[in-house]
Amino acid sequence: MQVEKTDIVQLVSAQVEANWEEEVKFLQKIGRFPSESGNEKALQSYLAHYLSTEMKMEVNRFPPDVKDIAAHPGFSPVEWSYAESENVIATAKGADPAAGYSLIFQGHVDVVSPEPVSMWSYDPFSAVREGGKIYARGILDMKAGLAAMIFAYKVIQDLGYRPGADFMIQCVVDEERTGNGALAALEAGYTAEAALIPEPFGQKVSTAQLGSIWFRITLETAEEVNVIEKLPVLINALKQYEDDVNERERPDAFKEQSRPIEVCIGSIDAGDFPSNVPKKAVMEGRAGLFPGQNPAVVKDEIKEWITQAAMKEEWMTHHLPEVTFFGFHAEGAAIENDQTAFFQLLDEMHEKVTNSPAQRQALNITTDARFFNLYYDIPAVCYGPTGGNIHGVDEWADLESMKEVTKVYAAFLAEWCGLIKKE
């Protein structure tokens, strides 16, 4: 059936308003699951139940199976089990595939560690609502987006419609350490003609993102040598590497940013007693890379950089640090043509809902959108709500922004898939 776009936006907007308190409660509900990477199962059980009973979707659940994806170039090596991690894929079969194009809304359900918990103003999994904000670990990244994409589809249903083309809601695991959840879903054949990911980067349409790798540097000795005191050499080497990469030629999408590549030393584990000389130190971190760079090559380069720095320090010349890699092995990605029908529709719906033109952005982080664009030729972007303190203390999501994103997603879904009136 034909409904004018302006009418669609009005129609879905009114229904988003009608469902609003329910949507906020849903966000608080999912915000209270401590779904850190590797511990997503309880939240996934809740979502699977919700999507099958409330939303009447066909739901499939499965953990990422490493042997199915290990040979894929997008695979990231893991040192952990997926026993408590399951993807949840909910499908609504299209009522009339000729009415539009198939679509995926995808979000990750895992969150990063809430530490240091003692610095929070609230319990990080209490999802307290204050004014127009909700506070919790992962509430912004990216449970507000999950709520928006699920309630966008709820709006379509409540209005008495079904999608014309096939539509999927994918709730995936382990995005914060690898992206293997999203990869496993795509490799299992859960694909479509386009995908939207409501990662929380302020209602802007992403056209590029950096890649990421994780590294581990181990310095160990049986000698009476304090390895902690040797670490500055390695830390300086990493910072110099960061300077060097940021001064190199880079893709157009990142030309406007002064220092897009960050090398983050995320943890140091060394020593165990004030009077003992530490014999072992382990530093772990993340390094960004530009689209077009091969993660394997970047890994070799970092290893070489560390080795060269160590060779300049007398003791380390004979005790070279071991450099290994685990977790993120992610390429960057950039979309060449941002004026296809997919982008135009998203721009138009954003503009109609917010009364302001859609903006583009290049993300200096990594998201699951890369898999769609790099390996499956499926246009995929991040467009999601706003908030603050992402991965930090007192992380919060902006409710007004979540409401707008819900409207944009509902209107996009209606136009992209086509709508069929339920009998």
CB of 244 to Zn ion, least distance (A): 28
Closer residue to Zn ion in complex, CB, 199/338: 199
CA distances from 134 to 129, 130, 150, 396 (A): 4, 6, 18, 5
CB of 235 to Zn ion, least distance (A): 27
Q: Please report whether residue 23 would count as binding Zn ion according to CB under 5 A.
A: no
Asked if residue 307 lies in contact with residue 237, where contact means CB atoms within 8 angstroms, the answer is no
141, 174, 404, 415: residue in contact with Zn ion (rule CB under 5 A): 141
Closer residue to Zn ion in complex, CB, 199/284: 199
CB of 82 to Zn ion, least distance (A): 19
Site string for Zn ion, 65-94 (x = CB under 5 A): ------------------------------
Q: Please report whether residue 142 would count as binding Zn ion according to CB under 5 A.
A: yes
Closer residue to Zn ion in complex, CB, 186/227: 186
Q: Which stretch binds Zn ion (CB under 5 A): 22-30, 136-144, 239-247, 353-361?
A: 136-144
Phi, psi (deg, nearest 5) at residue 19 = -90, 5
Asked if residue 77 lies in contact with residue 325, where contact means CB atoms within 8 angstroms, the answer is yes
Q: Please report whether residue 166 would count as binding Zn ion according to CB under 5 A.
A: no
CB of 41 to Zn ion, least distance (A): 19
Question: If we measure between CA atoms, which residue out of 177, 167, 196 comes closest to residue 369?
Answer: 196
Distance CA 416, CA 410 (A): 10
User: In the complex, which residue's CB is closest to Zn ion?
Assistant: 141
Closer residue to Zn ion in complex, CB, 279/286: 286
Residue with tokens 């609504």: 92
Closer residue to Zn ion in complex, CB, 113/344: 113
CB of 38 to Zn ion, least distance (A): 16
Q: What is the DSSP string of 265-331?
A: EEEEEE-S-TTSPP-EEEEEEEEEE-TT--HHHHHHHHHHHHHHHHHTSHHHHTSPPEEEEEEEEE-
Q: Which stretch binds Zn ion (CB under 5 A): 50-58, 139-147, 231-239, 283-291?
A: 139-147
Tally of CA atoms within 13 A in the half-sphere of 303 that contains its CB: 11
Question: If we measure between CA atoms, which residue out of 82, 51, 52 comes closest to residue 66?
Answer: 82
CB of 142 to Zn ion, least distance (A): 4
Residue with tokens 């304090």: 226
> Please, which of residues 180-199 interact with Zn ion by CB under 5 A?
199
CB of 79 to Zn ion, least distance (A): 21
Residue with tokens 């890649």: 211
Question: How far separated are the first and last CA of the chain, in Å rounded?
Answer: 13
Closer residue to Zn ion in complex, CB, 107/278: 107
Interacting residues toward Zn ion by CB under 5 A: 141-142, 199
